[in-house]
Amino acid sequence: MDQRHLYIHVPFCARRCSYCDFAIAVRRKVPVDEFLDGIRRELTSRNPGHVALDSVYLGGGTPSRLGADGITRLMDIVRERFDVTTETEVTIEANPDDVDSLEAAAWRRAGVNRVSLGIQSFDDNVLGWMHRIHDSSAATNAFEVLRKTGFDNISIDLIFALPRALERSWETDLEKGLALEPDHVSLYGLTIERSTPLARWTDRGSVIPADEEIYAAEFLLADQMMSAAGYEHYEVSNFARPGRRSRHNSAYWSGAPYLGIGPSAHSYDGETRSWNVAQYSDWASKLSTGESVVAECERLTNENRAAEKVYLGLRTTSGLVISDSDRPSASRWSSEGWANIDGDRVRLTTEGWLRLDSLASALTGL
């Protein structure tokens, strides 16, 4: 199957956030030349064929750390192997502290037409606790610079369900986010991952995580405020103005094949899922000696496919076509207010999304 969706993992960050367990490389000086050489080598080894891409996603890490010239050269490398047109959705993840008018203009010239801006919060105390480098004013300024530079498709990220002791007003963060009038908003509940500063703080009792009641209340408040402002809650964590859904992420949720390049990147060809070595130094070293950077592969069984179809279907407004044997479960969900049934298709409500894992397990038995 053609992989018309390309993900490139750019692992570099100026600092690791307190909650982050992603495969990143904290570098004061980003090895741009070495990284781009590795990307070219990996694409050559994958030999993907010169297909037309529907989407390109530069994720991380912090892709904006490559700088204007680095992003330009990266997109030139992509065009050596793929057709990238004005119709291709090309997204870059960026931190507010990396955005200025010169950088933004260079991204546009390179073909980037969508920016995902990692704001996370407008509360400076919270941003400091998260180990973010930017402050609230930098976030607002970065958004305004992107608009003035001509970007008409900007997404922002915000995090909810923070520890109560931080005294962050989630409603205020939502209000400030909506005031920017972004085209897309991704909202993520804070999770505690092993081997992170947040996990250590929690283990020693200096941080008490938000409970399920806070999580649910803030999730429902976000749905209420975003919907009232005209956004479509089209996936459990994502909201978009009409016509501004993320095409790249929607491909993941629909089960489409995709190619992942870079350290820790995942790929899916329709039958097999594979993922690269996670550490940047390992990835770069293997490529320099001609070794494969693929760490592991997993061929999906029919059971795997069925389970993923259920989970992916339930997490979006597209919903899931159910069998007669599943109808009793779906009917019970409907009576509880967790789902709507339209013929043979079930779609979870916002209340249902709070129970996504358990409801999916009820259908898959996993």
Q: Rounded to 10 degrees, what is the CA torsion of 260, 89, 245, 69?
A: 80
DSSP 199-253: HHHHHTTS-----HHHHHHHHHHHHHHHHHTT-EEEETTEEE-TT---HHHHHHH
Measured distance CA(82)–CA(53) in Å, rounded: 7
- Asked whether the predicted pLDDT for residue 321 surpasses 70, the reply is yes
Would you give the end-to-end CA distance of the chain in angstroms? 28
Q: Check residue 3 and give left, alpha or beta (phi > 0: left; psi -120 to 50: alpha).
A: beta
The confidence score (pLDDT) of residue 50 equals: 84
Q: What was the pLDDT predicted at 56?
A: 98
Fold of domain 5-253: pyruvate-formate lyase- activating enzyme (3.80.30)
Would you state the pLDDT for residue 71? 98
Residue 23 and residue 235: Cα distance in Å, rounded? 25
Give the pairing type, strands 25-26 and 12-13: parallel
The pLDDT tens digits of the residues spanning 51-76 come to 999 999 999 999 999 999 999 999 99
**Region for residue 49 given its phi and psi (left: phi exceeds 0; alpha: psi -120 to 50; beta: otherwise):** left
Range 323-349 average pLDDT: 93
- Does residue 366 have a pLDDT over 60? no
The answer to whether 133 and 95 have CB atoms below 8 angstroms apart is: yes
**pLDDT given at position 48:** 74
Contact, 92 vs 107, CB < 8 A?
A: yes
Among 71, 11, 29, 37, residue whose Cα is nearest residue 277: 11
Q: pLDDT value at position 127?
A: 97
Task: Tell me what pLDDT residue 182 has.
Answer: 98
Place of tokens 């970007």: 151
**For tokens 């490529």, what's the residue?**
287
Give tens-digit pLDDT for 2-25: 789 999 999 999 999 999 999 899
User: Nearest-5° angle of CA 311, CA 264, CA 158?
Assistant: 60
Inter-helix orientation angle 212-228/170-179, to 10°: 30
Q: What percent of the chain has pLDDT over 70?
A: 99
Helices and strands, number each (H, E), in the chain? 14, 17
User: What's the rounded mean pLDDT across residues 108-135?
Assistant: 97
Cα 341 from chain centroid (whole Å): 29
Domains of the chain, residue spans: 5-253, 302-364
Give the pLDDT mean for 298-325: 92
- Percent above pLDDT 90 for the chain: 90
**What is the rounded CA–CA span in Å between residue 298 and residue 23?**
20
For the cut 90, the answer to whether the pLDDT of residue 364 exceeds it is no
Closest CA to 1 of 310, 258, 181, 344: 258
Per residue in 141-159, pLDDT tens? Answer: 999 999 999 999 999 999 9
Q: How confident is the model at residue 365 (pLDDT cuts 50, 70, 90)?
A: low
CB atoms within 10 A of CB 101: 11
* Tokens, residue 119: 């704001």
Parallel, antiparallel, or unpaired for β 339-342 and 345-348?
Answer: antiparallel
Q: In angstroms, rounded to a whole number, what is the distance separating the alpha carbons of residues 163 and 160?
A: 9
- Tell whether the model's pLDDT for residue 337 goes beyond 80: yes
For residues 320-349, give the mean pLDDT: 93
Across 189-217, average pLDDT? 95
Residue 101: its pLDDT value, please? 97
pLDDT given at position 237: 97
Average confidence (pLDDT) over 166-183: 98
Q: Is the pLDDT confidence value at 139 over 90? A: yes
Provide the mean pLDDT of the chain.
Answer: 95
